[in-house]
A and B are shown apart, each in its own frame.
Chain A
Amino acid sequence: MSEFNLLDPFQFLTIPLGDWVESILNYLVQNFREFFRAIRWPIDQVLEFSEAILQSIPPLIGIILSSLLGWQLAGKKMGVFCAITLFSLGLIGVWSESMTTLSLVLTSLFFCVVFGVPLGILSARSDRVERIVRPLLDAMQTLPAFVYLVPVVMLFGIGNVPGVLVTIIFALPPLVRLTNLGIRQVPEDKIEAARAFGCTPKQMLMKVQLPLAMPTIMAGVNQTLMLSLSMVVIASMISVGGLGQMVLRGIGRLDMGLATVGGAGLVLLAIFLDRLTQAMGERSDTSNTLHWYETGPVGFFVRGYRSMQTR
């Protein structure tokens, strides 16, 4: 053994961080199995439910329904656009994989909204909460996914549920940030007016802050969806199914055809979701003068019904 050297003290002075983490993980796995199973449960339920629905809808019906939705949200052009993207998904033969990926993405979106929006509201209300939450979000966004992929597998095993979990970790931050930002950006004079008319804090939130922050929150939803989609590929390493799996297998077998098809499917899905959520964001913007039931296919039927009545 060499002498203790003051210039390089780290030969003797080291913290066994890696060992600690490992032993903590082992401890957790052995003693908190029930707890992790409890976390799995709700994710499992939502995932199974959404996958069952999406897989059971025949492709043509799915295309029609989603283009109607697009029409309702952003006009006829959007409806046609939705139909074309989804139709192409079917044409390149990845309809079923797309639906699996979509259900994964929607499930993670669901949990991101359930946790992210309230967290954003809390951090908009209190600077202290924001100070605590912000570095956490930074960590979630910058930590390479591979770092938490391993512990998540140790704690939850492999498959779609841990896949959704890592996706949530990766996709949550923008929603929290943008919810926080949107609420903080509500003009001071509107807040003051609401207070002057006797709003309770809850009324302030529901009737003034959230509606006025909605376009920004929708931008957060859009970001969360995009990040979820990109995470789905990485998550396929822990045997998550869908389009990501195709890409991974294609790369593994050097099958460029398979990888490209999977990639193209992901891109089409991304475009579809991006445009749709963007349209939703614009709808929630303030310059809308028609009620939702006066536009799109619903408006079409409502008008038809009204003219039948007047006749």
Chain B
Amino acid sequence: MTDSTNILSIRNVYKVFGDQPDTAMQMLRNGESKDQIFDKTGQTVGVFDASFTVKKGEIFVIMGLSGSGKSTMVRLLNRLIEPTAGTIELNGKDITALGDADLLDVRRKEMSMVFQSFALMPHMSVMENAAFGLEISGIERHERERRALEALEQVGLGEHGSSFPHQLSGGMQQRVGLARALANDPTILLMDEAFSALDPLIRYEMQGELIRLQKEQERTIIFISHDLDEAIRIGDRIAIMEGGRIIQVGTPKEIMSNPADEYVETFFKGVDVSKFLKAGDIACKESGCTIRINGAVQPFDPANSQFGYLLDGQDKLQGIVPLNEVDASDSVDALLSRQVKQHQSIYSDDMIKDVIKKVANASYPVPVIARNGRFCGVISKDLLLQTMSHS
């Protein structure tokens, strides 16, 4: 997240399916439940008082079981489904109040959608499919084919422009679906269970692809999923829905450590924390002894540690020394000459699951370093085991 301004704010949005939405809304205001309303009037409450904000450049995942209203929620955002009440603001502009022409403009320029069923046009080639949104916007042929090809290349299908959808595998078809959405260069990408129809391996690959694309382009993505592992892997923040309500919004770590209710807690039970915690989240400063060596060796306290971590003036790691071989009176050069050869280190944004091997194989707690080079702390084998046994 480079920029934390809100791009989308959803306030008190309701959706009632049926022919008497006003009656249902009145009953909701009187505090009657979804089920009561359905029994009395036959109206289905699809989304109930949803409020949340989406930040620019984040992947925002909406999660929930089948029938919890996820698909309804995203379709309210581009008004494929008309909200019954509430406001949806995109960059400060109220979408619910737009006229037909402005709404078409939003759909053409601001929000593109990727579908679970791919929804490619069977009578169009892959190239024409990728250029579909641009064609609808009235972009002339040459320009739209150039942009469509660019989008196809981004998803690795540059060679397949003249094929037809039915000649491609499911994974490739969904790449076309993704390219069609990317070609429009939308501000927000809406993805409704975009990877659910794919087999696990391809799905994993596509998730990686999406993360890569999002890093390159810093696009805002709203991703619907009913798969917690998927949500945790790609989501910067997650909203949990149940029965049309948004129950909790937060980062995976926040929700995990502080679930709003029992439902969320059971949802997250058995989740593998190593999949969403990053090295920086658990790195510990106390368990390693830091030794400052700017100019001269600063005084340090070797108690309860076996290794010392040599830091220069900018907090950059210079080496690791076994504390039993040095003492406080040594010179900088003497310390440096005794350091562990070719020590390992971990970046603070590495996932825990990716560093397990490194930590297990090292004879010392492995230092964690931020991308800008600063020393953040260390991860010892004990710390790693404690973290993993948390769930």
Please report A residues at the B interface, Cβ cutoff 8 Å: 187, 189-190, 192-200, 203, 207-208, 211-212, 214, 286-289
Q: Does B355 contact A (CB under 8 A)?
A: no
Per the bound structure, the CA–CA distance linking A189 and B119 in Å amounts to 6
Q: Which of A197, A200, A203, A287 contacts B166 (CB 8 A)?
A: A287
Does residue B371 face the partner (Cβ distance < 8 Å to A)? no
| B132, closest chain A residue (CB) | A197
Nearest to B104 among chain A residues (CB) is A198
Judged by a CB distance under 8 angstroms, whether B344 is at the interface is no
User: B107–A193 contact, CB under 8 A?
Assistant: no
CA distance A208 to B124 in the complex (A): 10
Are B115 and A192 in contact, with the CB atoms below 8 A? yes
Determine the chain B residues whose CB is within 8 A of the CB of A287 once the complex forms: 164, 166
Q: Decide: A212 near B136, CB < 8 A? Known: A192-B80, A196-B107.
A: no
Cross-chain contact of B136 among A187, A192, A199 (Cβ < 8 A):
A199
A193–B192 alpha-carbon span in the complex (Å): 12
A-B contact pairs, 18 of them (CB 8 A): A189-B115, A192-B80, A193-B119, A194-B132, A194-B136, A195-B107, A196-B107, A197-B107, A198-B105, A198-B107, A198-B136, A198-B137, A207-B135, A214-B123, A286-B122, A286-B123, A286-B166, A289-B163
In the bound complex, do residue A196 and residue B80 qualify as a contact, i.e. CB atoms below 8 Å apart?
yes
Least CB separation from A284: chain B residue: B123
5 closest A-B pairs by beta carbon, nearest first, are A198-B107, A193-B119, A198-B108, A286-B122, A196-B113
**Is B133 interfacial (CB-CB < 8 Å)?**
yes
Contacts of A190 in B (CB 8 A): 119, 121
A196 to chain B minimum Cβ distance, whole angstroms, is 4
B6 within 8 A of A: no
List of B residues within 8 angstroms of A200 by Cβ = 104
Chain B: CB-nearest residue to A212: B123
* Assembled-state Cα–Cα distance A275/B190 (Å): 46
Q: B residues within 8 A CB of A192?
A: 80, 115, 119
Contact yes or no, A198 B133, CB < 8 A: yes
CB of A289 within 8 A of CB of B108, answer no
Contact B136 A193 (CB under 8 A): no
CB within 8 Å for A289 and B117 given contacts A195-B80, A198-B105, A198-B133 = no
Residue of B119, B137, B180, B190 ringed by the most chain A CB atoms within 10 A: B119
Q: A196-B107, A197-B133, A286-B123 are in contact. List 4 more A-B contacts (CB 8 A).
A: A189-B117, A198-B105, A207-B135, A214-B123
Complex contact B122–A193 (CB within 8 A): no
Q: B339 near A: Cβ within 8 Å?
A: no
| Interface status of B112 (Cβ within 8 A of chain A) | yes
Within 8 A of A (CB), among B250-287: none
How many B residues touch A, CB cutoff 8 Å? 29
Q: Is the CB of A208 within 8 A of B121?
A: yes
Q: Given A197-B133, A197-B184, verify A289-B167 contact (CB < 8 Å).
A: yes
A94 to B158, CA, bound (A): 57
Distance to closest chain B CB from A200 (angstroms): 7
Residues of B within 8 A of A197 (CB): 107-108, 112-113, 132-133, 136, 180, 184
B52 to chain A, nearest CB (A): 21
Do residues B137 and A193 form an inter-chain contact, with CB atoms below 8 A?
no
Task: Mark B101-130 against chain A: 1 for CB-CB distance below 8 A, else 0.
Answer: 000111110011101010111110000000
Please give me the residue from chain A that is nearest to B123 by CB atom. Answer: A211
- Measured CB to CB, the nearest residue on chain A to B186 is A197
Distance in angstroms between the alpha carbons of A204 and B133 in the assembled complex = 12
Question: B78 an interface residue at 8 Å Cβ cutoff?
Answer: yes
Given A198-B107, A286-B164, A287-B166, are A193 and B115 also a contact pair (CB < 8 Å)?
yes
| Chain B contacts with A in 43-57, Cβ cutoff 8 A | none
List of A residues within 8 angstroms of B190 by Cβ:
196
Please encode chain B, from 234 to 259, with 1 for each CB lying within 8 Å of some chain A CB and 0 for all others.
00000000000000000000000000
- B contact residues around A208 at 8 Å (CB): 121
Closest partner residue, chain B, to A215 (CB atom): B123
Closest chain B residue to A197, Cβ basis = B133
How many angstroms between the C-alpha atoms of A197 and B117 in the bound complex? 16
Of the candidates A192, A193, A194, A203, the one having the most CB atoms from chain B within 10 angstroms of its own CB is A193
Bound CA–CA A212/B122 (angstroms)? 8
A192 to B119 alpha-carbon distance, docked (Å): 8
Encoded as 1 (CB less than 8 Å from any A CB) or 0, chain B from 181 to 225 comes to: 000100000100000000000000000000000000000000000
| Alpha-carbon gap, A19 to B342, bound state (A) | 111
A182 CB to closest chain B CB, in angstroms?
Answer: 13
Residues on the A chain within 8 Å of B119, using CB: 187, 189-190, 192-193
Q: Write out the residue numbers on chain B whose beta carbons fall within 8 Å of the beta carbon of A288.
A: 164
B278-303 CB contacts (< 8 Å) to partner A: none
Question: Is the CB–CB distance between B136 and A203 below 8 Å?
Answer: yes
Nearest-CB residue, chain A, relative to B166? A287
Residues of B within 8 A of A286 (CB): 122-123, 164, 166
Q: How far is the CA of A197 from the CA of B180 in the complex (A)?
A: 9
Least distance between B127 CB and chain A CB atoms (Å)? 12
Residues in A whose Cβ lies below 8 Å from that of B105: 198
